[in-house]
Amino acid sequence: MPERLIVVSNRLPGGGKPSGGLVVALHDAIADRGGIWIGAHPETGEASDTFEEVETTPYRKLAFRLTEEEQENYYLGFANSVLWPLCHRRGDLVDLQSEYERDYIAVNRRLARLIADMVEEEDILWIHDYHFLPLAYELRKLGVFNRIGFFLHIPFPSLADLSVLPTPASFAEWLASYNLLGLQTRRDVARCLEMYRSDPRAEFLPDGTVKFGMNVVSVRSFPIGIDVADFARAAAEPAPSPFGREEPDEYVIGVDRLDYSKGLPNRFHAFGEFLETCPDTRRPCLIQIAPPTREQVKAYQDITRELEEIAGRLNGRFAALDWTPIRYIHRAVEREELARLHRNAKACLVTSLADGMNLVAKEFVAAQDPDDPGVLILSKFAGAAEDMGQALLVNPYNTSEIAEAIETALDMSLEERRQRHAACLEAVEASDVSLWSSHFLGMLERCMPTLPVRRGAAGGGGEAPGGTGGSGMMADRA
């Protein structure tokens, strides 16, 4: 294939052998056809008008620096205190500061300039996630007409959620500058199309694509998955028990970044309700692994404190000298160990209040012994639920329902466990991450390219081809 693949994501993967489904899939895609991976440098510094070369083999990795102020306003601010809560239906946590949006646009504009300086005509670009919504819009203004795809890893916001933004109309305009807009689920696609249906600037073409200004964007779902065989292999690898002498009789597992979207307080409360109904002879444990994340943001400090309090209260109430019902581990655990913990668990709790997909649900299913599998308890608000109707689906706001599901899972017959697991595994295999990236890239290559707009040709000559009169000036690429 002649064209290079340029991937842009918030963070660059570390050096050495890549691990983790998404990183491996993108690594393989770039390594196969040649290309470049671009991401933010982990340390702040001076804003520069060139990339920093981080690695050169088997392909180039380029980093751009954020200043201290941009880290505050762009990353912790607009990305993680506006867009993240907004897309996870937590309008109450949105922190609207004008400098957040200003720097969000400024960082994307600077990154667009850096990319425009090095992009070649045949390159295709694949941009990842909510940190870069306006990147294609800014690239088009600089005269970059390459095929550009975007994948949103988190839920697509509803119209009501979008109206919380200072300039909601920008959202539709930014995304319309991509050629392919990849979302996790059919529900996300429906929300996105609803946004365009309500926007007088958008026109639906007979093939279902959306025409917006001079650009045509195709909106599709590409449910992300994991490297199923690799995770299953890690789970089945023989190893000494990680519990030592503290092996629980039976346990339910939860694995999540400590994020308010994951519904952890509800999960702990539900486990407490389940313990209320347990006979004294039963000694179940909840093993909750929840590493810290975005600790500088107040909402994350609050949820950390809340969870510690609930775990402490429940353990104080139910624990015995030889039994701690909730084992809460506030740090990351190695992938191999995580896989083995999944395999030995009787059930897995995924109780997200909103979640783009949730890969933990898929990892749990892949890790099971098909002859004696555990049971997945899955929030109906996680994207993963769309294709895993044979999990025990729960409403995460209803703690009694979760408590009942825990009991059902622990008492389920072997035959029912096998039958539910087989159906879930089929869905997990159908969305293997290697298929996910090849489907996305195959579709991007078939998308109609963006037509170059010559200076003055779009009625005023100052707008991106997808735009209808945005603020930007058409600038030369050099």
Catalytic sites, residue numbers = 153, 355
Query: Contact at 8 Å (CB) between 121 and 146?
Result: yes
> How far is 381 from 397, CA to CA, in rounded Å?
10
Nearer to ligand ADQ, 105 or 287 (CB): 287
Query: Burial, 306: exposed, middle or buried (Cβ in 10 Å; 0-12, 13-18, 19+)?
Result: middle
Alpha-carbon Rg for the chain, nearest whole angstrom, is: 23
Nearer to ligand ADQ, 224 or 412 (CB): 224
List residues bridging with 195 in a β-sheet.
Answer: none
Strands 60-64 and 52-55: antiparallel
Nearer to ligand ADQ, 166 or 291 (CB): 291
- CA distances in angstroms from 35 to 2, 6, 23, listed in the order given: 11, 5, 15
Nearer to ligand ADQ, 34 or 242 (CB): 242
List residues bridging with 208 in a β-sheet.
Answer: none
**Rounded least distance, CB 363 to ligand ADQ, Å:** 5
Q: Which residues are near ligand ADQ by CB under 6 A?
A: 153-154, 224, 255-257, 289, 291, 332-333, 338, 355-360, 363
Q: In sequence order, what are the residues at sequence separation of 6 or more whose Cβ sits closer than 8 angstroms to the Cβ of residue 8?
A: 38, 39, 111, 115, 125, 126, 127, 128, 132, 135
Nearer to ligand ADQ, 297 or 338 (CB): 338
Angle between the N-to-C axes of helices 228-236 and 359-367, in degrees from 0 to 180, rounded to the nearest 10:
50
Cis peptide before 157 (omega within 30 of 0): no
**Rounded least distance, CB 151 to ligand ADQ, Å:** 8
Q: What DSSP character marks residue 355?
A: B
